[in-house]
Amino acid sequence: MSDQGAATRPTSGPVRLCDPSPEWIATLERESDRLLSALGDIVLEIHHIGSTAVPGIRAKPIVDVVPVVVGLTRLDAGRGRVETLGYVWWGEYGIARRRYCTLQDPATGRRSINAHFFEQGDPEIERHVAFRDYLRAHPEAARDYEAIKIRSATQNPENVTDYNDGKSAWIRAIEPLAIEFYRNRR
């Protein structure tokens, strides 16, 4: 079941980059505990990815996680458990073999979590984790990425899709280096 929820697109609001915050780690830990409690028989591990996982750089205050699951069929069967936690289920949402879910912060009404569920062994997991690890190990690349993000946010303050498009060429150029770096460390 990779169908989307009732809405057609997740809401995102304006592109707002924030200084690094310890709240991002607190959010990660809280949501990891909640997901593991609800889906412990399905989730093998949870990776923190995206800019909030890279120390010292500005990011949108939305924590991205990759819960690695034993199988998408089992996750799909547990969809109700994810939705009971308050997540909106979007299905694949443009990426094959993914289940994408978002969570709004009840206090602010803003999105606080993007959960990208993948089945163990899916190459998307390595791609995301490698990119994160590369930026963590290469502060100069992390600063370059931050500069690209700031420029794109300045050019596209109200359009997340255009903001993401403004970063994509840089990310695609770095990904092969990141994957090579990641594989050489293993």
Give me the CATH number covering residue 55. Answer: 3.30.460.10
Please indicate, yes or no, if residue 70 is contained in any of the structural domains. Answer: yes
| pLDDT, greater one: 58 or 6 | 58
Confidence of residue 4 (pLDDT cuts 50, 70, 90): very low
Across the strands, what pairs with 111? Answer: 104
Please indicate, yes or no, if residue 164 is contained in any of the structural domains. Answer: yes
Please indicate, yes or no, if residue 14 is contained in any of the structural domains. Answer: no
Please indicate, yes or no, if residue 16 is contained in any of the structural domains. Answer: no
Structure tokens at 70: 């034993």
Cα angle 65, 68, 71 (rounded to 5 degrees) comes to 140
Confidence of residue 15 (pLDDT cuts 50, 70, 90): very high
The number of beta carbons lying within 10 Å of the beta carbon of residue 5 is 17
Q: Is the pLDDT of residue 65 over 90?
A: yes
pTM for the whole structure: 0.93
The tally of domains found in the chain comes to 1
Across the strands, what pairs with 46? Answer: 67
Please indicate, yes or no, if residue 17 is contained in any of the structural domains. Answer: no
Please indicate, yes or no, if residue 7 is contained in any of the structural domains. Answer: no
Confidence of residue 7 (pLDDT cuts 50, 70, 90): low
Full residue range of the structural domain in which residue 111 is found: 22-185
The C-alpha R_g of the chain, in whole angstroms, comes to 16
Q: Please give the pLDDT value at position 6.
A: 44
Please indicate, yes or no, if residue 89 is contained in any of the structural domains. Answer: yes
**Measuring CA to CA, which residue among 52, 70, 53, 69 is closest to residue 61?**
52
Please indicate, yes or no, if residue 77 is contained in any of the structural domains. Answer: yes
Alpha helices by DSSP H, listed for the chain, are 22-39, 72-77, 79-84, 123-137, 139-155, 160-185
